[in-house]
Every structure is written in structure tokens, then in C-alpha cells.
């Protein structure tokens, strides 16, 4: 099974009653473990939480802290990029050289590196005053 397969499969479980815009994500860690996530909407927060954040939370809950590949898929006319908050989360938990592939159900894909996804990402170095 590929990351695309995992993300596409889990996408069907997204809870999107307000937007009906389902997103699935799959992260692969350097150890080869795969974690998945979906977007989840609710009445108080109809824009919901993002699929990437869900996959990262599952990864952290399992005791891993880095991913090497991410795959995000949605039913859209072109590959949908992660929101700003998820870009920061992806940057924070990415292993060196990690990539993010954004895809449509029809098969269009765009793969980028973390610096391409979030140039100038905020990191620990911004807080060091030594």
C-alpha cells in the first residue's frame, strides 16, 4: 500500500458535514511507520481541524516525532496546499529532506520540500539569544 492509498482510504472517514470537503493525510516516518489523519468539522468550529494536524497528533501519540514523507489528498480541481498552521506543524516535525505531496482524487500531484512549502519557517533558532 502506498501513502496515496492510505490518504485516499482514510479521506472517506473525514467528518465534514458543513463544507463537504473531505481531506485525507498520511505521514511516513523514517522508521517506515505510517500515520493517517482527516479533517474534522464541528458546529462551533465549522472550518474544522486539518488532516495533517490529525496525522501529526497520531504520530506524536505513538511516540514518534519526525516524518520523512507526507501525502495530502482532496477532491479538488488542483492539489490543495496545507493551511498556514499545518505548514508550520509540518515544518516542525519534518525530518531533514522531508517532502509533502499534495494530490487530487483524479491523480494530479505536486511534491514540494518543506522550505518550498513554508519559506522562512519559525524554528527554535528564532528564540535562541546566545
The pLDDT of residue 124 is 77
Name which of 81, 74, 72 is nearest 54 in CA terms: 72
103-129 average pLDDT score = 88
104-122 average pLDDT score = 92
CATH of the domain at 40: 3.40.140.10
The pLDDT of residue 79 is 96
Claim: this prediction has a pTM higher than 0.75: yes
Structural domains counted in the chain: 1
Residues comprising the binding site?
Answer: 39-45, 50, 83, 86
The residues with which 27 forms a beta bridge, in sequence order, are: 35, 70
Which residue has 492510505 as its cell numbers?
Answer: 6
Residues comprising the binding site for substrate?
Answer: 39-45
Which residues does the annotation mark as catalytic? 52
Which residue has 515544518 as its cell numbers?
Answer: 91
DSSP of 52-87, one letter per residue? HHHHHHHHHHTT---EEEEEEEESSSSPPPPPHHHH
Tens digit of each residue's pLDDT (9 = 90 or more) over 62-103: 999 999 999 999 999 999 999 888 999 999 999 999 999 999
The pLDDT of residue 26 is 98
Task: Report the mean per-residue pLDDT for the chain.
Answer: 92
Q: Tell me: pLDDT of 123 over 90.
A: no
Contacts of 58 (CB under 8 A, 6+ apart): 35, 36, 37
Query: Domain range for residue 104?
Result: 3-126
Amino acid at each position: 500500500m502506498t501513502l496515496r492509498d492510505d490518504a485516499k482510504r482514510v479521506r472517506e472517514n473525514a467528518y465534514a458535514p458543513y463544507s463537504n470537503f473531505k481531506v485525507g493525510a498520511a505521514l511516513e516516518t523514517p522508521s517506515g511507520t505510517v500515520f493517517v489523519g482527516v479533517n474534522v468539522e464541528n458546529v462551533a468550529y465549522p472550518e474544522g481541524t486539518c488532516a495533517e494536524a490529525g496525522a501529526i497528533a497520531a504520530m506524536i501519540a505513538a511516540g514518534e516525532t519526525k516524518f520523512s514523507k507526507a501525502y495530502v489528498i482532496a477532491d479538488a480541481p488542483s492539489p490543495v496546499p496545507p493551511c498556514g498552521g499545518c505548514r508550520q506543524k509540518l515544518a516542525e516535525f519534518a525530518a531533514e529532506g522531508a517532502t509533502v505531496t499534495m494530490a487530487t482524487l483524479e491523480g494530479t500531484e505536486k511534491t514540494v520540500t518543506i522550505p518550498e512549502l513554508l519559506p522562512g519557517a519559525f524554528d527554535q533558532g528564532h528564540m535562541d539569544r546566545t
